[in-house]
């Protein structure tokens, strides 16, 4: 059935606590996972950040919302239990508990509206994601849109500009030594399918050979074989093949089995690297996502 949205978890979570005992959030997660019939694959689904599972995150936010409404409370770190108000809600046998249901509780209204006197605008909840998920998925959507715009721009630039872009990217990633060294190397070799060379580190302890193709067509295995042959001709062990398009399955398979260390970077990965290393993009605003440091407040 897949991972339920965090609002669908609210009522089962409150019922889980109906025995009036104190429970850990981990107990709740394990019990609810079984109740919802989640598969191992469902349990391993991660947020875009890769830092937490989607289900664990949603259970945590469901608990937070129920606490804000006064239906659950925490007397010990990482634990919770039902309140008299929570028991009263279960006695009413509600068919579901969601954001709209919680708007009847003053504590939740204050949390939801930030203390404003006009909570009406907040009474139309359509969220399936927790707040943290909403932020992460919104960020990922913006990033994907920027990545697509980037690669479109790269495809429209001149071959000379693309060479400069490759230099800038590799330098920002820590390769190439000085910009002068990198600039002289890229695009100057032209030897047997090699577009350029660049130092692996600032000391020049090893050299990486580069092929950069601003292509629309998919790069197939013969092109990779040609580049690999050029590497052997130079007795080189490391190469990077960068393209604005993509690689065929056989091209990727061939690159993975040859003796030389050959890295293939397609247009999608290129655009992501450009974002990560600030090539062709500029930062307009940043947000620090923080959570309570419960260890700080421990007096034990």
Q: Tell me the per-residue pLDDT of 102-117, one tens digit each, with 9 for 90 and over.
A: 999 999 988 876 554 4
**Segments of the chain assigned to CATH 1.10.10.10:** 6-129
How long, in residues, is the chain? 300
Report pLDDT for 183.
Answer: 54
Which contiguous run of DSSP H or E holds residue 23? Answer: strand 23-24
Global confidence as pTM = 0.61
The two three-digit tokens of residue 236, written as one number: 């080189």
Q: Tell me the per-residue pLDDT of 123-139, one tens digit each, with 9 for 90 and over.
A: 334 456 778 888 887 88
Closest alpha carbon to 90 in 146, 26, 171, 12: 12
Q: What does each C-alpha distance from 223 to 71, 80, 133, 147, 177 come to in angstroms?
A: 64, 60, 41, 25, 28
Cβ contacts of residue 229 below 8 Å, gap of 6+?
Answer: 192, 193
**Segments of the chain assigned to CATH 3.40.1350.10:** 145-276
CATH-assigned architecture of domain 145-276? 3-Layer(aba) Sandwich (3.40)
Topology given in CATH for the domain delimited by 6-129: Arc Repressor Mutant, subunit A (1.10.10)
**Positions of the chain with pLDDT under 50:** 116-126, 189-192
Report pLDDT for 114.
Answer: 58
């Amino acid at each position: 059935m897949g991972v339920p949205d965090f609002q669908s978890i609210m009522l089962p979570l409150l019922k889980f606590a109906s025995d009036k005992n104190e429970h850990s959030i981990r107990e709740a997660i394990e019990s609810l996972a079984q109740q919802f019939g989640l598969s191992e694959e469902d349990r391993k689904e991660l947020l875009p950040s890769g830092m937490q599972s989607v289900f664990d995150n949603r259970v945590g936010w469901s608990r937070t919302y129920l606490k804000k409404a006064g239906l659950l409370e925490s007397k010990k770190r990482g634990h919770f239990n039902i309140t008299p108000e929570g028991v009263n809600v279960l006695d009413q046998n509600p068919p579901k508990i969601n954001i709209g249901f919680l708007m009847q509780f003053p504590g939740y209204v204050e949390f939801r509206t930030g203390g404003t006197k006009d909570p009406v605008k907040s009474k139309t909840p359509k969220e399936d994601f927790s707040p943290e998920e909403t932020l992460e998925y919104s960020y990922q959507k913006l990033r994907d849109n920027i990545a697509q715009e980037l690669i479109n721009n790269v495809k429209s630039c001149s071959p000379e500009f693309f060479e400069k872009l490759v230099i800038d990217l590799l330098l920002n990633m820590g390769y190439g030594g000085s910009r002068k060294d990198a600039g002289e190397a890229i695009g100057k070799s032209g030897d047997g399918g090699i577009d350029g060379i660049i130092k692996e580190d600032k000391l020049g302890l090893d050299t990486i050979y580069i092929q950069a193709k601003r292509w629309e067509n998919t790069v197939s295995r013969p092109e990779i074989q040609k580049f690999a042959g050029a590497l052997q001709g130079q007795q080189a062990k490391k190469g990077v093949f960068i393209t604005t398009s993509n690689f065929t399955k056989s091209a990727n398979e061939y690159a993975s089995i040859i003796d030389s260390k050959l890295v293939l970077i397609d247009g999608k990965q290129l655009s992501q690297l450009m974002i990560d290393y600030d090539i062709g993009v500029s930062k307009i605003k940043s947000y620090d996502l923080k959570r309570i440091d419960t260890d700080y407040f421990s007096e034990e």
